[in-house]
A = this chain, B = another copy of it.
Amino acid sequence: MKDLTHFAISPADIDAAVGRLSGHIRRTPLLSSPFLDEIAGRRVFVKPECLQHTGSFKARGGWSAISALDPEVRARGVIAFSSGNHAQGVAWAAKMHGVPSVIIMPADAPTLKIANTRALGAEVVLYDRENEDRDEIGARMSAERGLTLVKPFDEPMVIAGQATAGVEIAEQAAEAGIDSAEVLVCCGGGGLTSGIAMALADRAPCLRVRPVEPVGFDDAKRSLAAGTIQRNDRLGGSICDAIVTPQPGNLTFPIMADLCGPGLSVSDDEALSAMAQAFLRLKIVAEPGGAVALAAALWRGAELQGDTVIALVSGGNVDPAMFQRALARLD
């Protein structure tokens, strides 16, 4: 077995996160369809984290980080920078713990996301992207109120929380009689990818994680190939916005470099088609960034090994207009 003791988190951190999350986080099922197997030419299993609380795996990391805080520190509240799934995960976990949360969002974030985050109990602070520095606002509020910053991925307790999805995959693969598979994970900053990779290296080393990204935003894939952290040239222009980040994290990359197989990338069109297949065959709602791993499972078979693939659908927070673009691919 690989040496897992020199990373930002240890297997014991994952065990502890499993304990803290138990009874609070959903154990999402493992789905499949003979129609997807036929497209892929191999067995396809899907772990739908879109069914998780708040519609994405981010509820795991949010809960893990907040539940790990010292009670007195936690009581003062938490703060996060996010206009998306991380915001909702942190707001939900804070509310369930009965502590305040502040979410700093750009003033031009979609109205629905702002409303949803507020409805989950967060105080939303809007800033002007052009004229204000969000880090300065966050630092000032943290200092004034003693808020703890919950980073989206490069934070040990967040990584340990996302790893609990990997613990479930290890258990569910054993239940389904899967003794070898590639596990495709939608990858942004690498919190989910590295967490699952750690969990599987510890509990099911026959399952190998491979990150999946949008074409043109494949910093993890290029970083793994180069052996050092590589940046994306641009950050805008992908419909898979939920998983576009400047570069892999300083804590997540060493884990991925040691434990993951090569990265994969798929086009926006393939992500939309995967959303359509998830609708048609699995009856789940995937967002574009949440569908890239399933897209790779279905249409990147030549780059995969073995007769079984497990694809994680990381989130389902998609607006109706974008979902209709995906459905149109079934006409």
Whether, in the assembled complex, A330 has its beta carbon less than 8 Å from a beta carbon of chain B, the answer is: yes
- Please, which residue of chain B has its CB at the minimum distance from the CB of A30? B26
Q: Are B285 and A34 in contact (CB under 8 A)?
A: no
Give the chain B neighbours of A26 by CB distance below 8 A.
29, 31
How far does the Cβ of A15 sit from chain B's closest Cβ, in whole Å?
Answer: 21
CA distance A239 to B330 in the complex (A): 21
Q: Are B330 and A119 in contact (CB under 8 A)?
A: no
Q: Are A51 and B34 in contact (CB under 8 A)?
A: no
**Copies of this chain in the oligomer:** 2
With known contacts A34-B120, A119-B34, A320-B327, A51–B279 Cβ distance under 8 A: no
Give the chain B neighbours of A119 by CB distance below 8 A.
34-35, 38
Whether, in the assembled complex, A57 has its beta carbon less than 8 Å from a beta carbon of chain B, the answer is: no
Which residue of the partner chain, among B28, B34, B282, B320, contacts A29 with CB atoms under 8 Å?
A: B28
How far does the Cβ of A90 sit from chain B's closest Cβ, in whole Å?
Answer: 15
CA distance A116 to B116 in the complex (A): 38
Which residue of the partner chain, among B34, B50, B283, B323, contacts A316 with CB atoms under 8 Å?
A: B283
CA distance A316 to B48 in the complex (A): 16
Which residue of the partner chain, among B34, B51, B116, B327, contacts A284 with CB atoms under 8 Å?
A: B51
Q: Are B31 and A29 in contact (CB under 8 A)?
A: no
- Please, which residue of chain B has its CB at the minimum distance from the CB of A23? B175
Which residue of the partner chain, among B48, B50, B324, contacts A327 with CB atoms under 8 Å?
A: B324
Q: Are A283 and B51 in contact (CB under 8 A)?
A: yes
Whether, in the assembled complex, A55 has its beta carbon less than 8 Å from a beta carbon of chain B, the answer is: yes
How far does the Cβ of A55 sit from chain B's closest Cβ, in whole Å?
Answer: 5
Within 8 A of B (CB), among A266-291: 276, 279, 282-286
Q: Are B55 and A283 in contact (CB under 8 A)?
A: yes
Give the chain B neighbours of A276 by CB distance below 8 A.
320
Q: Are A283 and B50 in contact (CB under 8 A)?
A: yes
- Please, which residue of chain B has its CB at the minimum distance from the CB of A319? B330
Within 8 A of B (CB), among A16-34: 26-29, 31, 34
Give the chain B neighbours of A284 by CB distance below 8 A.
51, 283-285
Q: Are B282 and A283 in contact (CB under 8 A)?
A: no
- Please, which residue of chain B has its CB at the minimum distance from the CB of A49? B283
Give the chain B neighbours of A328 by CB distance below 8 A.
320
CA distance A48 to B28 in the complex (A): 12
Which A residues form the contact surface with B (CB < 8 A)? 26-29, 31, 34-35, 38, 48, 50-51, 55, 116, 119-120, 276, 279, 282-286, 316, 320, 323-324, 327-328, 330-331
21 contacts between A and B (CB under 8 A): A26-B29, A26-B31, A27-B29, A28-B29, A29-B29, A31-B51, A35-B119, A51-B284, A55-B283, A276-B320, A279-B285, A279-B320, A279-B323, A283-B284, A283-B285, A283-B286, A284-B284, A285-B285, A320-B327, A320-B330, A320-B331
